[in-house]
Structure 1
């Protein structure tokens, strides 16, 4: 009979990588590189808005992330190109005896645009999720980024009683930091219910968008009628939005509503929600 240590050593896990790159060819953004190892894929590229915006849907075929899994995603957008990346559904982080990780590296050249708009990440109680995101912008590169995290499964009455969520997010322009953030939440942490933490709300979301908007549009964003506790801050060259919510769907609806208001102002194009969000 194998000892527990021996059994743990051979616990199956997925190590997967996805590397993407996009370039401008005439009036069209085209994929230049699509390399994968392990269970990470992108579906066929789509042009729902016309040739300028190339949309890819990132798929993780196992359907969930378990202890020992390691995912690495990188995307590069060259000058003049515009890539929009999303996902077909929620990413599920399962309960585990050891950590699972995701490393995200995004590079956007001068004159390029990247929209990173995944659906939510759901952390089951006792999950051990560790995420690292690094975004590098050059020159006048444009970015629209969001992230939604749901701790536990409120619809099933499951609180995040065990495990941990750990995340780091670094955003740079020409090597200078624009945003630097570290988060760590333990299962049953006092921050889950503290009024200076999550205040009893199991879902939190962050939006980062490069550029600046006028006070009138900022007030329109703040006036959105959604059942979330959210607000926006205009920093030099960077707009930051945060919310707390009772359900992931509420947070996602708020982010989409912000995107629909902000995209024309910051990116010069009407917001057309990807069809995959409706399935």
Structure 2
């Protein structure tokens, strides 16, 4: 009886602690292990940026990556990634890749979580978790784009194993729990009109802030300028703004996310890796 070949798996961890020192946010603690690195590009002015790097060159089934970000009181930080993350094909017997990030945003602090796109390949297997714990007057801005197959390369995702979860806790209140669970024939599911009408690029944007609802009108005005490549909508309640969009191409969704973020970031510009 043959046994499956055991493949080498990547394991990594990262941690970043920033705090306010005078008028500037500075690094107070840094951890990087295994396949994970954190780069801090030099920026003369503005909010500091942390660039997460996976030196293994992509995510395969069985990989494990864990991270922790802490923004101390009054600090501001933007977190992004060096490149679009790729989630590769898995064998049926492989355990899913596990990717977990936990962020704490203390009183008066702000965290912008703005990774580049995640590209899911056919038969990939992934479990992701993003957990945000924030003070009542803190600000969290998050943007995630999922690409199911690269249309420019005639790739489709026929089957997938995906559990993608977000949990946001503000003060003592569990404010938001969101799960995307897809197991099985994804392409057939996305073709349904009630799901995505064949669109394979998904954008989700969250703003959690005391004034989040005041941003709904300018965001809806921006969404009203979209062409037929994108379907999008926004809603706001209880100190939270959520935007969802479906697109036929990653380029159209990228243009939309940049437009929305330029509004919500009040002209602070794209993260450094978004401009290359």
Q: Hey, what's the Cα distance between the residues in 1 that align with 2:69 and 2:27?
A: 10
Unaligned runs of 5+ in 1: 265-269
Q: 1:215 to 1:16 in 2, by over 3 A?
A: closer
Q: Hey, what's the Cα distance between the residues in 2 that align with 1:82 and 1:159?
A: 39
Which secondary structure does the structure 2 equivalent of 1:33 belong to?
strand
Q: 1:188 aligns with which of 163, 185, 189?
A: 185
Q: Hey, what's the Cα distance between the residues in 2 that align with 1:181 and 1:205?
A: 14
Aligned residue in 1 for 2:233: 231
Asked if residue 164 in structure 1 is aligned to residue 164 in structure 2, the reply is: no
For residues 180-238 of structure 1, the C-alpha deviation after alignment (integer angstroms, 9 at most, x for no partner) is 11111234234211111122111111000022215642442332335311111111200
Q: Hey, what's the Cα distance between the residues in 2 that align with 1:130 and 1:96?
A: 13
Q: In the TM superposition, what are the counterparts of 1:1-279 in structure 2 within 5 Å? A: 3-5=2-4, 7-8=5-6, 11-50=7-46, 53-97=47-91, 98=94, 99-189=96-186, 190-210=188-208, 211-213=212-214, 216-226=217-227, 227-264=229-266, 270-279=267-276
- How far has the Cα of 1:155 moved from its partner? 1.6
For residues 11-49 of structure 1, the C-alpha deviation after alignment (integer angstroms, 9 at most, x for no partner) is 100110001111000011001111011011111343253
For residues 72-107 of structure 1, the C-alpha deviation after alignment (integer angstroms, 9 at most, x for no partner) is 111010001000011121100010122111001111
**Bigger CA drift: 75-84 or 153-162?**
153-162
Q: 1:209 to 1:45 in 2, by over 3 A?
A: same
For residues 49-82 of structure 1, the C-alpha deviation after alignment (integer angstroms, 9 at most, x for no partner) is 33xx111111111120011101111101000100
- How far has the Cα of 1:275 moved from its partner? 3.1
Q: Hey, what's the Cα distance between the residues in 2 that align with 1:84 and 1:196?
A: 35
C-alpha RMSD of the superposition: 1.7
Cα contact 1:160–1:187 (8 A) shared by 2: no
Cα contact 1:77–1:83 (8 A) shared by 2: yes
Q: Hey, what's the Cα distance between the residues in 2 that align with 1:137 and 1:165?
A: 27
TM-score normalised over the length of structure 1: 0.91
Unaligned runs of 5+ in 2: none
